[in-house]
Chain A
Amino acid sequence: MSDPSPPPDGAPGRAPDRAPGRARTGTPGRAAALAQPLAGLRRPAVLAGAAGFLVLLALPFYLGAFWLQTGLFAMSAAIGAIGLNLLTGATGQLSMGHAFFLAVGAYGYVYLASDSGPHLAGLGLPTPLAFLGAIVLAGAAGGLFSPIAGRLRGTYLGIASLALIFIGQHVLFNAGSLTGGFNGRDVPPLRLPGLAFDDSPGLVLFDVPLGALERLWFLGLALLVPAAWTARGVLRGRPGRALNTIRDREVAAAVMGVPVARYRAGVFVLSSMYAGAAGALLALVFRRTVPEYFGMFLSLDYLAMIVIGGLGTAAGAVAGAVFVSALPQLLTRYGDDLPLVAAPGSGGVSPAEASRILYGAAVVAVVLFLPGGLLGLWSRLRAAATPRRGPRRPVPRLDEEEQPA
């Protein structure tokens, strides 16, 4: 939780990085610095987390297909966004190539899991192995690019990684035997021993028949929770501090002994593995992979997610992913009841367009008015609510100060 205070040169720790405030107030030791938030946070936060998790576990028993699918899109987007937030939010490395790694994950899974046919190649591996293989493949693809990723700073990496999108689109459309070309490929469902993630009948729990979407929901949770937990651990530990320092002041990081290029390359590989997992999960939900989905707009969507949610934290990525991926679905579903949103094709603003405009505007508004994103808003609200609890904790106000002027 606590960071070494960033170099005191006016590069303020950005939003999600709340530690510098505390460190500057001169909290005597590291133990005290750690104990401070834990004392106030631990029990309610853990309880709330556990309750939220139980609710998420219970949801498939109540929700219809529409909501389950929306939730699954959000979960896969959340995994990908966490990865991108490690790279762009925590390290300040812009990546336009995230969609490419999602595609590697999705197509990697399909290729590894499918049987070889007359027109399409495949390895026919057991599907869980193929899923892991897809993540490893995405990581390897990130590794191939990492010599470049390690050397380039910030926006320059963004420009360089744009090339990945163009290369990726070309390969996806033209490597027919691998990717199925324009029409894409069917995705074989994941089969664990004794449990297939498809619509096969026979799985009934608490009198609720569990179809493919319900089963995938649990798979999504089983992937998202460790993904978020790992990212949180990375960000709060030593690597996280190193990454934040690189973002805030590269020279200072190098002086303090952080191997800048190695960390940049490493976080790039890690983020592409997250993208690979997200892509493979997405393929399982869609049941078919099509190349045009993995274009530049997907990369832009992911960047919008982490900015809207809050840069540099796993929770921010999850919040932004839910916002961006649920918005079009909700507007499509409830568009009839909303003013200004017209049915598709009637000349007015269609739900899909309305949602794009809304989240494009949300990106701008968040950067202008809500530094720290949705998560920053949340902790600011909490900060506004805390003082009423009592006179103790003079520190939290500094603790929550998101944007030093």
Chain B
Amino acid sequence: MSTFVELVVNGVSMGSVYALIALGFVIIFKATEVVNFAHASLLLAGGYVTAVLHDDLGFLLALGAGIAAAAGAGALVEVLVLRRARVENHAVLAIVTIGVDIVLTTELTRRIGTEVLSLGDPWRDRIVTVAGVSVAETRIAALVTATVLITAFLLAFRHTSWGVAMRAAAEDGETAALMGVRLTRVSLGAWALAGALAAVAALFLTVFPTPGLDRGTSFAAMKAFPAAILGGSTPPPARSPAA
């Protein structure tokens, strides 16, 4: 019985991490109708920055820097590439993100090399045992963080003017633009947010049960693609199939 509970908790926790990735993916898809194949590389960028800086800055600041870096990278992709690509065919835009992904991933995996980087998280390999059920602290942290972030996103999506603008843009871009929604801002915000979520997911993809950030981490991120699809990419709350 306790094994079963452990498996469930671990599974739900992993699923919630994938949900973070899938959520970013879906946000971009809904706001801009672009399938973002560069998502894995944004994740890797966030994780890499955190891993490099945590010795000097401490974990929380480094994580913040990682999140900012991934969000910035996402925003840069939007401003420098997607906004300027004068193509109507969204398939071509998806291919452009593949180009971005190839460049970023190649450079990052080259920097990482054969090393396995630690992100300097405070939980390390501690395990909590409650009523005979042992769960790693990292898994609990992942579950809590993901739940908080996803709830916050959903609330903002429902109740803030930013959320309304985004829903309007997702529903019908032209009409929303006529109503005064600035589509460029919506899509910029979507990319930045997706990058930030990916950086958080990078943290929890590389903590305790897994050895750390290595060149294979972006492959793990690819597993979230099926999650986004199975969860249905129509309304933004993509549900994660708990692994």
Interface residues of A (CB under 8 A from B): 11-12, 14, 88, 92-94, 154-155, 158-160, 162-163, 166, 247, 296, 300, 303-304, 307, 311, 347, 349-350, 353, 356-357, 359-364, 367-368, 371, 403
B94 lies within 8 A of A361 (CB): no
A158 lies within 8 A of B102 (CB): no
B102 lies within 8 A of A311 (CB): no
A249 to B63 Cα, complex, angstroms: 46
B90: CB under 8 A from chain A?
yes
A364 lies within 8 A of B96 (CB): yes
B106: CB under 8 A from chain A?
yes
Q: What residues of B have a CB within 8 angstroms of the CB of A159 in the complex?
A: 35, 225, 229, 233
Q: What residues of B have a CB within 8 angstroms of the CB of A367 in the complex?
A: 81, 85, 87, 92, 95-96, 99
A364 lies within 8 A of B99 (CB): yes
Closest Cβ–Cβ distance, residue A195 to chain B (whole Å): 40
Q: Look across to chain A and name the residue whose beta carbon is closest to the beta carbon of B92.
A: A367
Q: Which of A94, A360, A368 contacts B91 (CB 8 A)?
A: A94
A11 lies within 8 A of B99 (CB): no
Q: What residues of A have a CB within 8 angstroms of the CB of B84 in the complex?
A: 368
B86 lies within 8 A of A371 (CB): yes
A296 to B101 Cα, complex, angstroms: 13
Closest Cβ–Cβ distance, residue A190 to chain B (whole Å): 33
A92 lies within 8 A of B91 (CB): yes
Q: Look across to chain B and name the residue whose beta carbon is closest to the beta carbon of A365.
A: B99
Q: What residues of B have a CB within 8 angstroms of the CB of A361 in the complex?
A: 99, 103
A104 to B95 Cα, complex, angstroms: 24
Question: Chain A at the B interface: mostly helix, strand, loop or mixed?
Answer: helix
- A158-B35, A362-B99 given; A307·B92 CB < 8 A: yes
Closest Cβ–Cβ distance, residue B226 to chain A (whole Å): 7
A155 to B94 Cα, complex, angstroms: 7
Q: What residues of A have a CB within 8 angstroms of the CB of B110 in the complex?
A: 349-350, 353
A88 lies within 8 A of B91 (CB): yes
B106 lies within 8 A of A357 (CB): yes
A385 to B99 Cα, complex, angstroms: 32
Q: What residues of A have a CB within 8 angstroms of the CB of B106 in the complex?
A: 353, 356-357, 360
B56: CB under 8 A from chain A?
no
- 7 additional A-B pairs beyond A163-B226, A166-B226, A357-B102, beta carbons within 8 Å, are A154-B90, A155-B34, A347-B113, A350-B110, A357-B107, A364-B81, A364-B96
B27: CB under 8 A from chain A?
no
Q: Look across to chain B and name the residue whose beta carbon is closest to the beta carbon of A295.
A: B219
B117: CB under 8 A from chain A?
no
Q: What residues of A have a CB within 8 angstroms of the CB of B229 in the complex?
A: 159-160, 162-163
Interface residues of B (CB under 8 A from A): 33-35, 37, 81, 84-92, 94-96, 98-103, 106-107, 110, 113, 222, 225-226, 229, 233
A14 to B229 Cα, complex, angstroms: 29
- A163-B226, A357-B103, A360-B106 given; A154·B98 CB < 8 A: no
A356 lies within 8 A of B102 (CB): yes
Q: What residues of A have a CB within 8 angstroms of the CB of B86 in the complex?
A: 371, 403
Q: What residues of B have a CB within 8 angstroms of the CB of A362 in the complex?
A: 99
A350 to B100 Cα, complex, angstroms: 19
Q: Look across to chain A and name the residue whose beta carbon is closest to the beta carbon of B85.
A: A367
Q: What residues of A have a CB within 8 angstroms of the CB of B37 in the complex?
A: 300
Q: What residues of B have a CB within 8 angstroms of the CB of A357 in the complex?
A: 102-103, 106-107
Q: What residues of B have a CB within 8 angstroms of the CB of A88 in the complex?
A: 91, 95
Q: Which of A14, A162, A356 contacts B225 (CB 8 A)?
A: A162
In the complex, 18 of the A-B residue pairs with CB atoms within 8 angstroms, ordered by the A residue number, are: A14-B87, A88-B95, A154-B89, A155-B33, A158-B35, A159-B233, A300-B37, A304-B95, A304-B102, A307-B95, A311-B92, A347-B113, A353-B110, A356-B106, A357-B102, A360-B99, A364-B100, A367-B85
A213 to B132 Cα, complex, angstroms: 65
A403 to B94 Cα, complex, angstroms: 20
B81 lies within 8 A of A368 (CB): yes
A160 to B226 Cα, complex, angstroms: 9
A12 to B88 Cα, complex, angstroms: 9
- A166-B226, A353-B106, A368-B84 given; A360·B100 CB < 8 A: yes
Q: Look across to chain A and name the residue whose beta carbon is closest to the beta carbon of B106.
A: A356
B85 lies within 8 A of A360 (CB): no
Q: What residues of B have a CB within 8 angstroms of the CB of A12 in the complex?
A: 88
Q: What residues of B have a CB within 8 angstroms of the CB of A92 in the complex?
A: 89, 91
Closest Cβ–Cβ distance, residue B145 to chain A (whole Å): 27
Q: What residues of A have a CB within 8 angstroms of the CB of B96 in the complex?
A: 307, 363-364, 367
A303 to B35 Cα, complex, angstroms: 14
A93 to B86 Cα, complex, angstroms: 18
A360 to B110 Cα, complex, angstroms: 15
- A357-B106, A368-B81 given; A363·B98 CB < 8 A: yes
